[in-house]
Chains A and B, each alone.
Chain A
Amino acid sequence: MLLEPQILERLDRLSLKIRERTAGSNPGEHRSRRLGSSVDFADWRPYVEGDDFRRIDFGIYARLDRLVIRLYEAEEELNVRIVVDASASMGFEEKLPAALRLAGAIAYLAAARHDRARVWVSNQDGISPGPWARSREGAFHLHRWLETVTAGGESNLANGLKRMAAAGGLPGLTIVISDLLSEDWETVVRRLGGPGAESAVLQVLARSELDPSLRGDLLLVDSETGEAVEVSMSDQVLRQYRARAVKFVAGVAEACRSRGIRYSLVSPGDDLEKLLMTDLRLQGLVR
């Protein structure tokens, strides 16, 4: 079981939060860019032939002797895409399980509120979608599919996003869960931050990747590319690495901020409930 029942119970009280109006195809709980038939008043417009008589505002007609129609807000579903990086680098220190649990929780959040959620996994086979989840049952089905995902191969997020955008744009909310430990991380961020896009980056980095405790003369081998580097671990080298790691994380956060993308740094050891209830709420992704 991907998520424990008590966590699902807490998730039932939350919902995803977006800044822009949605443009879904089915009724839902998020305000749409279109007008509709909710109970929330939006505006008036002059009556034209064919309008429903029931929408004429007779109070206005009585005062102004003009026929106007009352308009109401429409509420539609949110289209949520969650892209999980399942490259080989995510297979260390429980990074991928943490990313899949996070993806499952967000998908459940969406489905429980009648939004549409889908998880895409990027690994050696390219980027491939999981099943849609539109209800709690659909979310459980998605969870079972996520439990089968394994890490491997090189990260190919940038190309995957390009493919997704080419297939139909990225309407709704797009969330990328990845360590972004590749040269093309800036391309990933840039493609997420298109005009009108609503997106978030959840960067998963283990503590050992920020503050390594390696010692001695080592041959370090990249799990994705197989590239090897020789490093003589000294205090000086470790200080340099830590400084570079801090600069990298700060760079990703700044790139996201400048494009209106919400960002959060996630550690595999973080408590999922706290992450959702506190950290993502602070980022404005969950309410």
Chain B
Amino acid sequence: MDGLSAPGALRALALAVPILLTYMLRTRRPRQVIPSTFLWGEATMNVAATRPFQRLRPSILLLLQLLLLAALVLALARPFRSTLGVGGSHLVLVVDASGSMLATDEVPSRIEAARAQGEQLIESLQDTAVVSIISAQDRPKVLISATPSHNAARAALDNLEATEGSADFAEAFLLAESLETPARPATIVVVTDGGLTPEEARLVPPGAVIRSVGRAAENLAVSRLDVSDGPGGFRTTVQVRNFGPDHRKTELVMELNSEPVASVSLDVPASSSVERSFDLGPAGGRLVARISARDTLAADDRAFAVLERSRPRRILLTTPGNVYLEALIRQIPGAEVTVASAGEDPSGFDLVAYDRVNPPENLEVPALFLAVPGGPPAGRLTGMVEDPTISYLAGDDPLLAQVDLGDLAIAEAQQFEIPGSRTLVAGRSGNVETPLAAVWTQGVHRRAYLGFDLHQSNLPLQVAFPILGDHLLSWLGGASDVQARFAGEPLETGGPAGATEVRIELPGGREASVVPGQVFDETEQSGFYAMSFLAGDRVVSERTVALSFPARESDILPKGVEAPAGSDRPGLVTDARTSLARWVLLGALVLVLLEWWWAHGRPVPGAARMTRKRPA
């Protein structure tokens, strides 16, 4: 305690005099003759004379009552402790709620330590000061804005939880500065363990106060979980990274639909990572990569992915006529095939194929092109070649697995080039060599290009044709969404036509319901988000999305952040007064309970044996 805000209240200690008098003044008692006072013993006081006063005897109750009076008077005097506090009249508290704040190197966790710092700052505020609190997470939130109620601010701070996602500090700082008014400059305090990107670090508001939390760096994490869908089945690559300074060993377990399918022991050098790949076969489901690590951050000890071989359902074939291609596409189970000659709007289709027809620009679906007159959309047509012979086969490429093109003959083919593409088959005619088949990714969509008209080759008559076709169509229809997604990212809930509701089961088992197309952003937890699209009560489609812990948050080494100078924004002061009155009142309450217990509830030894006993 460093002082009293209202020392005049100490005059109330004079109330101790009447309390003492009640113990010294005698009361006039009725006289009662009893057989013997022998057993009344020390519970009584002997009558000495008829004086109105008696000697003050030691009494626990008197002591408790005097202590209670002292505590109440001290509370009235408003004791305080000088602490680091807020200088301005508006505290804007930006609390890092990213995944790294779940680390337990601070007891019990970094987020709790941040909360304690926030509460200490609120405690030090003047009564007239207002408080705003911003939770810096993937989509920053203003928890409370310029409230004069410090209790409401404390309650908002209590409700703040760390997410398993990243933090968008740029947005959080923007929000913090927007809460400031010219009449009431704000003291902006950022409580964080660091982890800002260089861009975010440049956006720290000038004059802001940075309070750090976190001490340790030791952490082992599943930092990447990639899944590829090949003709041979799913293949996954897992990366385990050691962020700490010591060499670590761990056990990596792959679970598919909650059943372990692979397990391997890993030695991970300090500040390094190891990768392991697993072939998981064609079965789909929910994949979890889990390590057994004893570290300060448990949330990143697992990563999630969904193995889903998604075949296209609605397919548009634009062609002047190609029975081979049409038959091939119609073999896709469950496919709704629309055949058009030209001009069909490709939106709403899962896959489009343009056979000798120029596609529209800005195609936003996976596409297969065959001898498009204008050449490949992302490439260049440089000429034509006749009777090319196969000069190159990407034998290791899964798309050509089991595909025998030894007897392939082509009468005429386009000479083209597509930057960034992967050539599957190339041909040579004279000195001219050109890709005959190539695949590439444009944005998030896959593309495949065959530089020859099927009618100008014997490919449709080859055994390889349906195999190659199935590989290409599976690859095209699958998985532009196999790329990892992270907690905090919003979910797109666009679904099939006719769906009126989307029910989402969250990782914790909680359910949410949104309208199809509405962005769902309650994705603070990593895990599986199972979406059911309903038309009335009928489930018309289902989709599961896996969100993992972002690797960026696994690097929990606290990093210093510096705020740019050059602002007259008020900072922190060292002589703020933190009131101790409520602790004193709490002590007074304890004294009241103790006094009651002493007077009424205290057990007396032997009282329980109060029975008439006849000893033998």
> Which A residues have a C-beta under 8 Å from some C-beta of B?
88-93, 95, 179, 181-183, 206, 209-211, 214, 216-225, 227-231, 234-237, 239-250, 253-254, 256-257, 263-265, 267, 279, 282
**Which stretch, B36-44, B176-184, B439-447, touches the partner chain A?**
B36-44
A32 to chain B, nearest CB (A): 29
Asked whether B430 is an interface residue with its Cβ less than 8 Å from the other chain, the reply is no
Q: Are B610 and A229 in contact (CB under 8 A)?
A: no
* A-B residue pairs in contact (CB < 8 Å), sample of 13: A92-B34, A206-B35, A210-B612, A224-B35, A224-B36, A227-B37, A236-B599, A236-B600, A239-B607, A264-B614, A265-B614, A267-B612, A282-B614
Contacts of B44 in A (CB 8 A): 220, 229-231
B452 to chain A, nearest CB (A): 106
Q: Are B604 and A239 in contact (CB under 8 A)?
A: yes
Q: Are B43 and A231 in contact (CB under 8 A)?
A: yes
Asked whether B606 is an interface residue with its Cβ less than 8 Å from the other chain, the reply is yes
Tell me which of A183, A220, A224 contacts B32 (CB under 8 A).
A220
The distance in angstroms between the C-alpha atoms of A161 and B46, with both chains bound, is: 31
Q: Are A244 and B32 in contact (CB under 8 A)?
A: no
A285 to chain B, nearest CB (A): 13
Interface string of B39-57 (1 = CB under 8 A from A): 1110111110000000000
**Which stretch, B23-31, B91-99, B495-503, touches the partner chain A?**
B23-31
The chain B residue with its CB closest to the CB of A230 is B45
A188 to chain B, nearest CB (A): 13
The chain A residue with its CB closest to the CB of B612 is A265
Contacts of B39 in A (CB 8 A): 181, 209, 241, 244-245, 248
B33 to chain A, nearest CB (A): 5
The distance in angstroms between the C-alpha atoms of A92 and B37, with both chains bound, is: 13
Contacts of A224 in B (CB 8 A): 35-36
Asked whether B11 is an interface residue with its Cβ less than 8 Å from the other chain, the reply is no
Contacts of A214 in B (CB 8 A): 32
Tell me which of A183, A235, A250 contacts B615 (CB under 8 A).
A250
Contacts of A92 in B (CB 8 A): 34-35
The distance in angstroms between the C-alpha atoms of A221 and B19, with both chains bound, is: 28
Interface SS of chain B:
loop
Tell me which of A210, A234, A241, A250 contacts B40 (CB under 8 A).
A241
Asked whether B108 is an interface residue with its Cβ less than 8 Å from the other chain, the reply is no
Q: Are B37 and A220 in contact (CB under 8 A)?
A: yes
Asked whether B406 is an interface residue with its Cβ less than 8 Å from the other chain, the reply is no
The distance in angstroms between the C-alpha atoms of A257 and B615, with both chains bound, is: 8
Q: Are B615 and A254 in contact (CB under 8 A)?
A: yes
The chain A residue with its CB closest to the CB of B608 is A243
Contacts of A179 in B (CB 8 A): 35-36
A151 to chain B, nearest CB (A): 10
The distance in angstroms between the C-alpha atoms of A219 and B39, with both chains bound, is: 15
The distance in angstroms between the C-alpha atoms of A88 and B35, with both chains bound, is: 7
Asked whether B616 is an interface residue with its Cβ less than 8 Å from the other chain, the reply is yes
The chain B residue with its CB closest to the CB of A253 is B615
Contacts of A220 in B (CB 8 A): 32-34, 37, 40, 44
Tell me which of B35, B45, B599, B607 contacts A209 (CB under 8 A).
B35
CB contact under 8 A between A253 and B613, given known A217-B27, A223-B35, A236-B600: yes
Asked whether B18 is an interface residue with its Cβ less than 8 Å from the other chain, the reply is no
The distance in angstroms between the C-alpha atoms of A248 and B613, with both chains bound, is: 11
B529 to chain A, nearest CB (A): 62
Q: Are A223 and B33 in contact (CB under 8 A)?
A: yes
Q: Are A235 and B600 in contact (CB under 8 A)?
A: yes
Asked whether B602 is an interface residue with its Cβ less than 8 Å from the other chain, the reply is yes
A247 to chain B, nearest CB (A): 6
> Which of B35, B47, B614 counts the most A-chain CB atoms under 10 A from its CB?
B35
Contacts of A231 in B (CB 8 A): 40, 43-44
Tell me which of B30, B45, B46, B599 contacts A216 (CB under 8 A).
B30
CB contact under 8 A between A221 and B32, given known A182-B38, A243-B607: yes
Contacts of A244 in B (CB 8 A): 39, 41, 606
